[in-house]
């Protein structure tokens, strides 16, 4: 199985339930969702003339749309060679759920890693049973790329981006449609660290015992 990878790097998880945890990020190239607030738009298009080699994505000095096809063994050997200490793997994008992630997540688990998938939930989720799935629902898109109910049901965490009180109302309606007893985490994340949105998130997290996700990597100015 070959996967289109934009970058592999070591940092702190800045969002959601695992905020602050050292992690190895595997960023996929390619996404058809088109969120207007996306901060990784360089991963949207998988252009053939931007396909490079492993060294091209490892030696990047700044973000770009250069990507490379990597297999599971190459991903693992890269992590081993870099001597990164983290055992938490964050699979992000782009939209990684456009691909069958079972070979990658199962392989990494067998080699001592714990996987977290960050996805919009607009595609069927295919990963190991142990993978922690963080779904960021896309509920106000003009396109047909809507978050699937079966993806929400698979989620361990729903990380929802908030800009106004209306977003909270939309989230409430969404949660009412999830008919299960799973104790998933609900994380509210203010869009672009906006102060008004942040206060809305704080108020609702306190009222509902939800988690605040504040994108600590932005405040720390790290990847």
How confident is the model over 183-218, as pLDDT tens digits? 999 999 999 888 999 999 999 999 999 999 998 988
How confident is the model over 146-173, as pLDDT tens digits? 899 999 999 999 999 999 999 999 999 9
How far, in Å, CA of 142 to CA of 145, rounded? Answer: 8
- 220 annotated ligand binder: no
Q: Which residue has the tokens 């929400």?
A: 152
Pairing of strands 2-12, 68-71: antiparallel
- 20 annotated ligand binder: no
How far, in Å, CA of 217 to CA of 187, rounded? Answer: 16
How does 183-201 read in b/e, with b if 16+ C-beta sit within 10 Å? Answer: ebbbbbbbbeeeeebbebb
Tokens (6 digits) for 181: 């007893």
- 127 annotated ligand binder: no
How far, in Å, CA of 194 to CA of 53, rounded? Answer: 38
- 39 annotated ligand binder: yes
Residues sharing a CB contact under 8 Å with residue 148, sequence separation 6 or more, in sequence order: 121, 122, 123, 124
In the chain the domains, ranked by start, together with CATH numbers, are 2-161 (3.20.20.70)
- 50 annotated ligand binder: no
- 44 annotated ligand binder: no
pLDDT tens digits, the chain, 223 residues: what are they? Answer: 999 999 999 999 999 999 999 999 999 999 999 888 888 999 999 999 999 999 999 999 899 999 999 999 999 999 999 999 999 999 999 999 999 999 999 999 999 999 999 999 999 999 999 999 999 997 765 556 789 999 999 999 999 999 999 999 999 999 999 989 999 999 999 998 889 999 999 999 999 999 999 989 888 888 7
Residue 219 has a pLDDT of 84
- 46 annotated ligand binder: no
SS3 (DSSP) at 94: coil
- 22 annotated ligand binder: no
- 40 annotated ligand binder: yes
- 210 annotated ligand binder: no
- 37 annotated ligand binder: yes
- 27 annotated ligand binder: yes
């Amino acid at each position: 199985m070959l996967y289109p990878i934009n970058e592999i790097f070591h940092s702190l998880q800045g969002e959601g339930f695992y905020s602050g945890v050292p992690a190895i990020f595997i960023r996929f190239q390619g996404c058809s969702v088109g969120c207007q607030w996306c901060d990784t738009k360089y991963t949207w298009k998988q252009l053939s003339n931007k396909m490079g080699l492993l060294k091209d994505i490892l030696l990047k000095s700044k973000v770009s749309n250069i990507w490379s096809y990597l297999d599971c063994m190459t991903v693992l050997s890269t992590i081993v060679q870099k001597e990164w200490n983290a055992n938490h793997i964050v699979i992000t994008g782009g939209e990684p759920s456009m691909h069958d992630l079972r070979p990658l997540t199962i392989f990494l688990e067998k080699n001592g890693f714990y996987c977290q998938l960050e996805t919009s939930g607009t595609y069927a989720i295919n990963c190991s049973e142990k993978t922690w799935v963080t779904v960021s629902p896309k509920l106000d898109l003009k396109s047909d790329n809507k978050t699937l109910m079966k993806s929400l049901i698979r989620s361990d965490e729903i990380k929802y981006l908030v800009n106004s009180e209306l977003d909270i109302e939309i989230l409430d309606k969404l949660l009412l449609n999830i008919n299960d007893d799973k104790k998933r985490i609900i994380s509210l994340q203010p869009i672009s660290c906006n102060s008004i949105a942040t206060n809305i998130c704080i108020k609702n997290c306190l009222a509902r015992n939800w988690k605040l996700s504040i994108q600590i990597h932005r405040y720390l100015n790290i990847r």
